[in-house]
Structure 1
Amino acid sequence: MPARLAGWPALLLTAALIGGSPSAGAADLPAFSQVRTQHRVSDFVLLDRRGEPLQGARLDPRRRALAWVALKDMSPALLRAMLLSEDQRFYEHSGVDWSAVASSAWGNLWNSRTRGASTVTMQLAGLLDEDLAQRGGRSVTQKLGQAWVAGRLEKRWTKAQILEAYLNLVPLRGELVGVPAAAQTLFGKRPAGLDARESALLAAMLRGPNASQARLTDRACALLKAMNERCDGLDDELGAVLARKPLQWDDAPQWAPHYARLALRPDGPPTQRSTLDGRIQRLAVASLGRQLGELQERGVEDGAVVVLDNATGEVRAWVGSSGQRSEAAQVDHVLSRRQPGSALKPFVYELALERRLITAASLLDDTPAQIPTGAGVYLPQNYDKHYRGWVSARAALGNSINVPAVRLGLMLTPEAVFERLNALGLQLPETGGFYGPSLALGSADVTLLALTNAYRALANGGVYSEVPLPGALSDPAKGGPAAATAAKAAAPAAGPSARSRFSSTTSTTNITATSASATAPRRVADARASFVIADILSDNNARAITFGLTSALALPFPAAVKTGTSKDMRDNWCVGWSSRYTVGVWVGNSNGSAMQQVSGVSGAAPVWRDVMLALHAGAPGQPFQPPPGLVHQPVRFDAGREPPRQEYFLAGTEQSQLRAAGTPVSITNPAPGAIYALDPDIPPAHQRLRFQHQGALGAAGPARWRLDGRPLGQGGSVDWMPMPGRHELQLLDAKGRELQRVTFEVRGASIRPGRKSSL
């Protein structure tokens, strides 16, 4: 044999003549069904609870491979172009094309450039066994092994199976593996839809996946001519294909990107079932987008929705953002911490009912309040800036009046409110003392998921249980979802090595298993107090003063609901429950910017209403059932403060007649410990300090004021020209008896009448 015949074709011929079998590939070959089942994909599909596709998500950042596609679903043009390029006698040989081997050997003998002799079956052998793969060149040993394994494949598999496996496993340009991934990424098509030009371009990549644009164009053009097709403009077309961003199928499911990112497992099968309800998920996405479209002129761009099943806690819908409307579409606002505003009030009232500090009929004080704190005086205000005097707890909660809620929080103490909120899973990051009296008005940051699940505890009569999310996701407050997402992104591609990847698994899995650390259901709140809260929040008459009788909160079936708006209208919420589901909605901006006159009832409530109606289509929610230990009786209010009604009481707290306590005489301004700062640039007449009191002394005459031991004046209010220093103010009755004493401080330079301000 001539020296120039040295090379793998000569050795392969020699090996064939002597009947030798290389050691490579000696392991048992997998069955076609095993290879198809164990095909390792980069993109997974999330299914809803009924098996309907909801979302595709890529979990392997190193390679791109899609779900296996049957040969019958491949384009005939693709099959023709591929065989013309790689294996023209595919249906004639038995794994090795000896005619091509001889031609290649002759070409090597005369140093001519010829097409390779590797058949599709031989290439598939290299794809199935990493020891036979072509890495860093085509070694003689690899070629001998591929030829030997190819012969065995031809005996065990059909030609159609060989061709199907090859098209699904062959590496293509860059990270692309398999025709399905290349067809979607480069052309936005499924393999069945590839035309002749696209098929020729893919076939040209088989021999040199990362070849230059010019080389690929030449190869593809030669294939098109062999197929009797024109190739004019092909270079420009290929340039556009290689330059544009990866494409998606037009019908690719894109309904739950955030939940899929958290729930899909890279070590699972290509399709994984979830607890989501596809119909509700799609409706929630559409409703949120429609509502945000109506609010776009008010500086609103984002929102989130979550739906929980009351009985099981399973997630039925999870919308993490508004998608393309958002500047931060990848942020999952179901898990982002924001201030809930008045949405925390139900828990304050429930705790006060539970501890028998109030009843639903108790009259609460809704007058201006000045509350001293370590950082100064806290001045809670009602949303509408109006005060109603004495108002029942039912009306105060139903109409979301702020001042009574703050006073209740002080009666309970911020520490007690803090502990209850944490027991309900809100996992507040600070302490009760840190938030102080503002905690009752929602100054702490919470997630939509945690808040909705806390409402679900009220729906279940005060029994709390965690949301059964997949694996480590069940505790978002401890970094579960974020940690899981980071782990998925950082983890290497899942799946065993090529030589050991053919173990049996199922093609679909459920992703509803809970974390091992998930706690069993536990009672957190009193069942009777929880029912009273549900009764108040489902009473359309109780919220009529603020919301009217025809707001988005009024449903044709019983549903308890509460809105919330944070400071400066940066966030608004609507969370509520029926007998079967709890729904939470957040509307705001990812960057925290304020909205323009958008409250919970005008921002989040319409979406809440749409979702609730869809959940109960054909099956309305049932009335809330009172637990034992409640008394339902009529109550009346003195002076006609509120109409008579039937009211629920915890047994032993019932009352039939409610009377408002007289307002005690007390100083309303200044607050104890107040600090005032003088500004020399403001005219003195505009910096006078007014002392005021509330309550009347009746026949005893007007109240008298004394400052630092000296008489100052009498009546309901007096004005004083402030002087720097610490001062003591006394309020006396007409007989000189002290009613109250407060101390305050004035800081700054003295201001004297007639002094000109400096510039």
Structure 2
Amino acid sequence: MAGKNGGNGRLVADRRYAAKRPAPKPAPKTRPPKKPRRPRRARGSNVFTRLIFGLIGLIWTMSWRVGIVAALGLGGITYYYYSQLPPYDDLIDARVRGSVTLLDRDGKVFAWRGETFGGSIDGDTVSPYLKNAVIATEDKRFYRHFGVSPRGIASAIKINMSEGRGPFEGNGGSTITQQLAKLLCLGVTYDPTQWKSEADYEADCRSGGIKRKLKEIPYAMALEAKYGKEGVLSLYLNRAYLGAGARGFEAAAQRYFGKSANDVSPSEAAMLAGLLKAPSKYAPTANMERAQDRAALVLGLMQDQGYLTDSEYKDALASPAKLSKAAAQKAGGFFADWVMETGPAFLTNDTTEDVIIETTFDQRIQAAAEAALKQVFETKLKEGSKAEAAIVVMSADGAVRAMVGGREVQGPGAFNRATQALRQTGSTFKPFVYAAALDLGYTANSIVDDSPICIYTAGSGDWCPKNYDQGFRGAMTLTDALAGSINTATVRVSQMAGLDAVKAVAQGFGFASKLAEGPAVVLGVSESTLIEMTGAYAGILNGGSAVKPYGLIELRFKGESEPFLGQEGGIRERVISENAARQLIYMMNQGVERGTGRRARLDGWPAAGKTGTTQSARDAWFIGFTADYVVGVWMGYDDNTPLKGTTGGGLPAEIWHEVMVRVNEGLEPAPLPMIRPEELPPPAYVNADGVPTAPSYPGQVFDATGGQAAQPQPERRQTLGDILINILTGGN
């Protein structure tokens, strides 16, 4: 189509779409109105706040990280201990040593030595009263902790610090599991090369301090993981030490009450549980009143924690626990120690096995001896006196029936004056002198001269013994000389028999201690023990044969019927003839009937014996016998202080009398095996002209203290002793 101007114009297409317009620019963003500014704080306060919060954050960050590390460490140590713990059965018996159970002559238990283990008990079968008493006393949260009680430790620290001690000194807040860890010594076994003794080892195991606690905690946790609550409790019941050598509650129940731990009553259970605090202090054998007071406290705890009803609590308080008969008697402690010493150490004091020893011990006779000594000392000694005494009772064959080693009944290991005290024997040695003479052919009717005598000894000069009363009596029979304990006459008899013969007889009868040199030996200047001297007199009673005192009859291992060791003591070889022994018994009988031992005389019972008093009265003795028993008594001071107003014919003779009166109860009197003077040939006697003749002089009379009453002096005659001395000394 042509344009309006008649020319060809440019064709333009119609615009179908609107032309693209540039996008509109976004409107500028508007900022929200600013909030009004708060007033500025001081710049220093802001820094301090940031520092505090930063420090708290740092502590928190470090704490949880350290906590994780500590927990991992604790877990690792616990696992280590867990892997080292042995099987349960290996831990039941805690003892390093075995036990020795001693039976009397009737087969009854009278003493224990070593560490006694009564047998395994279980927390499920033991008396519930005992189980509850232990938990109430030692760890009332036992079933609610994992072996360690943080609450208990915190409480213990508070108590210790409030009482002025260190945080870990004194009360430790230990759970039963921790106490078991101590009993197990954290798995460390006893090594004799590392510790001087078992006591040092156990002291180290029980030591406290923070280092010990840090080891104890993972070990306790390992115990609970390994054995569980009931296993831990059972081990504790079996391993706890409860005094008197009793290891575990079964041994303690048998030791104190004569019954199993499965059968104890509430009052008995409370007394046993009370021992855990301090076994030696609260042992009923040491102080029954203190043990009962402690038990009453335990009963109160059991009631408070619901383990006893009100009626059970009142009944238990009204009927406190009592010791068994064997435990209450405390019999035979000195005797038991002596038997342990005389037996082989590897089967007694150092035994690792449980052994049973049958003995010669007689509990009735022991009670008689103790009662007699107590009666005399309470009525005859001044109040506060420190004088001591010892008694031995034995049969003629050397079987020891009773032994008192001192005035006070003491525990194992006490000094035994009957077996350990070496003391001068005084005139109790004189029977050996007369025994030697009788064995050589002299008789009880032979004559000896009581007159001044001096014997020269090389290096010492003349030795001139004196009599007790400083007097002399001239010619007398050997019987009168011994009955009156005449020193000068005894010295002459020793010269007649010879010192070598006298020493041989003394040693043959068991005088094992070293004999003094010189003629003074015949007056008892040598030292010996009471049991040694009593054994020697038993040899006289049995007819002249030596005896070895013994207490052990048979030793066997527990659970076995065949003995491992038998009796070693008893009658040995003959020392003097039976004829000489029987004459000597008569002579000693006269010492009791009319001589220095008259205070020992028994109504209706023939008895024989000899008094003895040493220089300055430092020792006083009386040893004698009836047909059934030989009894030796010694009295003196441990520090050798002289006795005042006491001789062998005084208090020792009275003690002997009181012992025999009690020992003879229920027995029938029996005659002594003796030969009387009328059964002997006339005495051999030589007058001044050398012509044998019979003596003519009144019988001697002696006072009860050992002195002699004044007597008319017979005409001086030469005796066989004078003749023999003249020959031996060349007339000097």
TM-score, scaled to structure 1:
0.57
| CA drift at 1:695 | 5.8
Corresponding residue of 2:642: 594
Work out which of the residue numbers 531, 536, 554 in structure 1 matches 2:587: 536
| CA drift at 1:384 | 3.2
Corresponding residue of 1:368: 452
| CA drift at 1:339 | 1.6
Cα deviation 1:369-425 (Å, max 9, x = unaligned): 233333232222222333322212222222322222110101222222122212222
Check if 1:185 corresponds to 2:275.
Answer: no
* Matched-pair contact (CA < 8 Å) for 2:450–2:488: yes
Q: What letter is aligned with 1:29? A: Y
Check if 1:149 corresponds to 2:226.
Answer: yes
Corresponding residue of 1:578: 626
Check if 1:258 corresponds to 2:258.
Answer: no
Check if 1:306 corresponds to 2:392.
Answer: yes
**Per the alignment, do residues 67 and 424 of structure 1 end up closer, same or farther by CA in structure 2, a change over 3 Å counting?**
farther
| CA drift at 1:286 | 2.5
Once the two structures are superposed, the pairs formed by residues 417-436 of structure 1 within 5 Å of their partners are: 417-430=502-515, 434=517, 436=518
Corresponding residue of 2:656: 608
Corresponding residue of 1:480: none
Corresponding residue of 1:30: 89
* Matched-pair contact (CA < 8 Å) for 2:88–2:227: no
Cα deviation 1:486-544 (Å, max 9, x = unaligned): xxxxxxxxxxxxxxxxxx9738999996797x79721122121111111222347x852
Corresponding residue of 1:477: none
* Matched-pair contact (CA < 8 Å) for 1:197–1:224: no
Corresponding residue of 2:130: 74
Q: What letter is aligned with 1:74? A: L
Check if 1:332 corresponds to 2:428.
Answer: no
Check if 1:661 corresponds to 2:687.
Answer: yes
Structure 1 unaligned blocks of 5 or more: 90-95, 105-115, 202-222, 230-248, 472-503, 627-631, 634-644, 649-653, 665-693, 698-739, 744-759
Check if 1:468 corresponds to 2:550.
Answer: yes
Cα deviation 1:629-681 (Å, max 9, x = unaligned): xxx79xxxxxxxxxxx6234xxxxx33x76562389xxxxxxxxxxxxxxxxx
**Per the alignment, do residues 162 and 523 of structure 1 end up closer, same or farther by CA in structure 2, a change over 3 Å counting?**
same
**Per the alignment, do residues 285 and 409 of structure 1 end up closer, same or farther by CA in structure 2, a change over 3 Å counting?**
same
**Per the alignment, do residues 200 and 579 of structure 1 end up closer, same or farther by CA in structure 2, a change over 3 Å counting?**
same
**Per the alignment, do residues 524 and 287 of structure 1 end up closer, same or farther by CA in structure 2, a change over 3 Å counting?**
same
**Per the alignment, do residues 509 and 558 of structure 1 end up closer, same or farther by CA in structure 2, a change over 3 Å counting?**
farther
Corresponding residue of 2:41: none
Once the two structures are superposed, the pairs formed by residues 271-420 of structure 1 within 5 Å of their partners are: 274-297=359-382, 301-311=387-397, 313-323=398-408, 330=415, 332-356=417-441, 358-374=442-458, 375-420=460-505
Measured in 1, the distance between the counterparts of 2:513 and 2:377 equals 29
Q: What letter is aligned with 2:88? A: L
Cα deviation 1:202-259 (Å, max 9, x = unaligned): xxxxxxxxxxxxxxxxxxxxx9998899xxxxxxxxxxxxxxxxxxx99765444433
Corresponding residue of 2:722: none
Which of the pair is proportionally richer in helix?
2
- Number of residue pairs aligned between Structure 1 and Structure 2: 530
SS of 1:522's equivalent in the other structure is strand
Measured in 1, the distance between the counterparts of 2:445 and 2:299 equals 76
**Per the alignment, do residues 163 and 509 of structure 1 end up closer, same or farther by CA in structure 2, a change over 3 Å counting?**
farther
Once the two structures are superposed, the pairs formed by residues 86-235 of structure 1 within 5 Å of their partners are: 86-88=142-144, 131=187, 136=212, 137-138=214-215, 142=219, 145-151=222-228, 159=230, 163=233, 165-170=235-240, 179=273, 180-187=275-282, 194-195=294-295
* Matched-pair contact (CA < 8 Å) for 1:41–1:66: no
* Matched-pair contact (CA < 8 Å) for 1:366–1:403: yes
Q: What letter is aligned with 1:605? A: A
* Matched-pair contact (CA < 8 Å) for 2:137–2:298: no
Measured in 1, the distance between the counterparts of 2:626 and 2:481 equals 22
Measured in 1, the distance between the counterparts of 2:419 and 2:528 equals 10
Measured in 1, the distance between the counterparts of 2:465 and 2:446 equals 21
TM-score, scaled to structure 2:
0.59
* Matched-pair contact (CA < 8 Å) for 2:358–2:552: no
Cα deviation 1:698-723 (Å, max 9, x = unaligned): xxxxxxxxxxxxxxxxxxxxxxxxxx
**Per the alignment, do residues 575 and 647 of structure 1 end up closer, same or farther by CA in structure 2, a change over 3 Å counting?**
same
Measured in 1, the distance between the counterparts of 2:382 and 2:304 equals 57
* Matched-pair contact (CA < 8 Å) for 1:272–1:509: no
Work out which of the residue numbers 575, 580, 583 in structure 2 matches 1:524: 575
Deviates more, 1:142-151 or 1:191-200: 191-200
**Per the alignment, do residues 121 and 296 of structure 1 end up closer, same or farther by CA in structure 2, a change over 3 Å counting?**
closer
Work out which of the residue numbers 45, 68, 84 in structure 1 matches 2:140: 84
Structure 2 unaligned blocks of 5 or more: 1-63, 154-171, 190-204, 206-210, 249-272, 309-324, 341-347, 691-714, 719-728
* Matched-pair contact (CA < 8 Å) for 1:321–1:329: no
Corresponding residue of 2:316: none
| CA drift at 1:454 | 0.8
Corresponding residue of 1:647: 679
Once the two structures are superposed, the pairs formed by residues 725-744 of structure 1 within 5 Å of their partners are: none
Measured in 2, the distance between the counterparts of 1:322 and 1:553 equals 24
Measured in 1, the distance between the counterparts of 2:444 and 2:394 equals 28
SS of 2:375's equivalent in the other structure is helix
Measured in 2, the distance between the counterparts of 1:457 and 1:562 equals 14
Work out which of the residue numbers 501, 506, 531 in structure 1 matches 2:558: 506
Instruction: Give RMSD over aligned pairs.
Output: 5.4
SS of 2:633's equivalent in the other structure is strand
* Matched-pair contact (CA < 8 Å) for 1:200–1:224: yes
| CA drift at 1:557 | 2.3
Measured in 1, the distance between the counterparts of 2:328 and 2:545 equals 40
